[in-house]
Structure 1
Amino acid sequence: MTSKCRLTYFTLKGLGEPIRYMLSYRNIKFEDVRLDMETWKATVKHTAPFGKAPVLEIDGKVLTQSKAICRYMAREAGIAGKDTWEDLQIDMMIDTIEDVRTAAADYKFERDEKKKAEKKDPLYNETIPFYFKKFETIVSASKGHLANKKLTWADIYFVAISEHMCFLIDQDILEPYPNLKALKDTIHAIPGIKKYVEQRPADILVEF
């Protein structure tokens, strides 16, 4: 794919983690630049295509948008759909995963303590159980995967984002779901991803 990659994101998993996983899946060496918000705003934000992170540089070409980057790398790696129907199955899962992540992030980074308290119960007791029970059922019926009964980038994206969601809600989001835990184990057993996970730094909260 390339001889030089540089990923710029914050000092946490977030939307950078699926890209890190995809690069690791393909055994592509990359510079993993993790910035605090102050440094991002002062040195990088103005150079990003739309002023947002993550930013992936591939041989000098600057890319943005986590899902678009992962989708591109999946096609290069042969873990996208074999046709438009399979791509649709994957994209439906990805967008649904993003719905849950957005809700969790909205809770985590809410600065008004009263509003945050109001968001907690619906998130923990309604939103997360509703979606994750469905994910659990899908994986059970799809040979251990989220789409097309085979390994796709939806699986890798899900595991990477679910790990970030553990940080967002301060608990192991997969603990009640044995099929989802097994999927995580499957992804973490992939050699490139296994090596990355063993070496990655811990999250540091970014003040958005």
Structure 2
Amino acid sequence: MELGYWKIRGRAQSIRLLLEYTAERYSETFYQCGPAPDYDKSGWLQVKESMGLDFPNLPYLIHDGNRLTQTNAILRYIGRRHDMVGKTEEDHMRLDLLDNQLMDFRNGFSRLCYSADFEKLRPEYIKTALVTIGRFSKFLGEKDWLVGEKPTVVDFLFYELLDCHRILEASLLKTFDNLVRYVKRFEDLPRIKAYMASDRFMRAPLNNTIATFGSE
């Protein structure tokens, strides 16, 4: 498998985590966004329309003649290969719900991080995020994973968002014991633990050079 994305965590980090967890063999093609003031993206733009992608975008995944874009579509593709997309109709409904709810959460976080008014918007965002995280805490309850008895594709989206938010504000998770346990449970998965201890694991940057927060 070939995964293509900017040389940041961003929307590809959950995919990387899933590839590692499933022990898929993969390579990465990194694209660089230049520094201010131009933020040059020519490395990607020069090849964007010539890669045979139906809807050219990053991240992309190329495998066995299949060419996919969109984070959730890529996660589902990998997940289906490893029985990680639920079994029952109830599972599928919960996965569909979480796919979209987590992407809304991700989009809100991205808007904050890339806003020139980051410092002004941050306090209100923290309040809103606390409510959203509380709803996810209630949804998880005392279960180990979001859907079923083992990790599914949405757990990789969820973990990455929780990690990004505790980087944004360390106190955000502290009032939710089940989420603190969830994060540790995820990080203790043997293949995830080994990946995070390796020099291949990308701790930073969260966002691209144009971002106000997380570009370091």
State TM-score, norm by structure 1: 0.82
Q: Of 102, 109, 131, which aligns to 2:107? A: 102
Contact 1:17–1:161 at 8 Å: present in 2 too? no
Tell me the equivalent position of 1:33.
29
CA contact (8 A) 1:22 1:156 kept: yes
RMSD (CA atoms): 2.3
More helix by share: 1
Which of 89, 96, 101 matches 1:91? 96
Match of 1:155 in 2: 155
Q: Aligned partners of 1:121, 1:172: CA distance in 2, in Å?
A: 13
Q: Which residue of 2 aligns with 1:57?
A: 62
Q: 1:132 is aligned with what amino acid? A: I
> CA contact under 8 A between 2:3 and 2:28: conserved in structure 1?
yes
Compared with structure 1, are the counterparts of its residues 62 and 187 closer, same or farther at alpha carbon in structure 2 (3 Å cutoff)?
A: same
Q: 2:195 and 2:177 mapped to 1: Cα distance?
A: 24
Structure 1 runs (4+) deviating above 4 angstroms are: 170-173
Structure 1 segment 171-190 matched on structure 2, within 5 A? 171=170, 173-190=172-189
Structure 2 letter corresponding to 1:195: A
Q: Which amino acid aligns with 1:131?
A: T
Q: 1:78 aligns with which of 83, 96, 108?
A: 83
**Residue of structure 1 equivalent to 2:8:** 12
Q: Distance in 2 between matches of 1:183 and 1:29?
A: 27
In structure 1, what is the equivalent of residue 135 of structure 2?
Answer: 134
Separation in structure 1 between the aligned mates of residue 164 and residue 16 of structure 2, nearest angstrom: 13
Partner of 2:124: 122
Partner of 1:62, secondary structure, is strand
Partner residue in 2 for 1:45: 48
Which of the numbers 191, 206, 209 marks the counterpart of 1:207? 209
Counterpart residue identity of residue 185, structure 2: T
| Corresponding residue of 1:191 | 190
Distance 1:150 1:23, change over 3 A: closer
TM-score, reference length from structure 2: 0.80
Structure 1 residues 8, 183: closer, same or farther in 2, change over 3 A?
A: same
State the aligned residue count: 198
Query: Taking structure 1 as reference, are residues 42 and 156 closer, same or farther at Cα in structure 2, changes over 3 Å only?
Result: closer
Aligned 8 A contact 2:15 2:156 in 1? no
